[in-house]
Structure 1
Amino acid sequence: MATILMVEDEMNLAMMLEDILDDAGYSVLKAARLPKALELMAQFYSGGENRIDAAILDINLAGVQVFPLADVLLSRGVPFVFTSGYGRDGIPDDYRGSAVLQKPYSAESLLSMLQAMIRGPDLTG
Structure 2
Amino acid sequence: MESREPLPRVLIVEDDIWLAAMLADIAASAGVEVVGPVSTLHEAVRIASSERLDAALLDIGLGRTEVYAAADVLEERDIPFAFVTGRTEAEIELLHRGRPVWSKPFLQQQIANGLKELIGRR
Q: TM-score, normalised by structure 1?
A: 0.86
**Where do 1:53-64 residues align within 5 Å?**
53-64=54-65
Q: Report the 3-state secondary structure (helix = DSSP H, G, I; strand = E; otherwise coil) of the residue aligned with 2:34.
A: strand
Name the counterpart of 2:100.
99
How many equivalent pairs are there?
Answer: 115
Name the counterpart of 2:17.
11
Match of 2:48 among 17, 37, 41: 41
Match of 1:21 among 5, 27, 30: 27
Q: Report the 3-state secondary structure (helix = DSSP H, G, I; strand = E; otherwise coil) of the residue aligned with 1:18.
A: helix
The percent of aligned pairs where both chains have the same amino acid is 36
Given residue 70 of structure 2, which amino acid in structure 1 is its aligned partner? L
Q: Which runs of 5+ in 1 are unaligned?
A: 45-50
Q: Which runs of 4+ in 1 moved over 6 A?
A: none
Alpha-carbon distance in 2 for matches of 1:98, 1:22:
23
Contact 1:87/1:103 (8 A) holds in 2: no
Cα offset, 1:87, TM superposition: 2.3
Alpha-carbon distance in 1 for matches of 2:117, 2:63:
29
Quick one: higher RCO (CA 8 Å, sep 6+), 1 or 2? 2
Cα offset, 1:105, TM superposition: 0.9
**Alpha-carbon displacement from aligned partner over 1:31-68 (angstroms, at most 9, x marks no partner):** 10010111222331xxxxxx200000000001201001
**Alpha-carbon displacement from aligned partner over 1:13-39 (angstroms, at most 9, x marks no partner):** 111111111122210111100101112
**Alpha-carbon displacement from aligned partner over 1:76-122 (angstroms, at most 9, x marks no partner):** 0000001111221320221111111111111111111111111129x
Name the counterpart of 1:48.
none
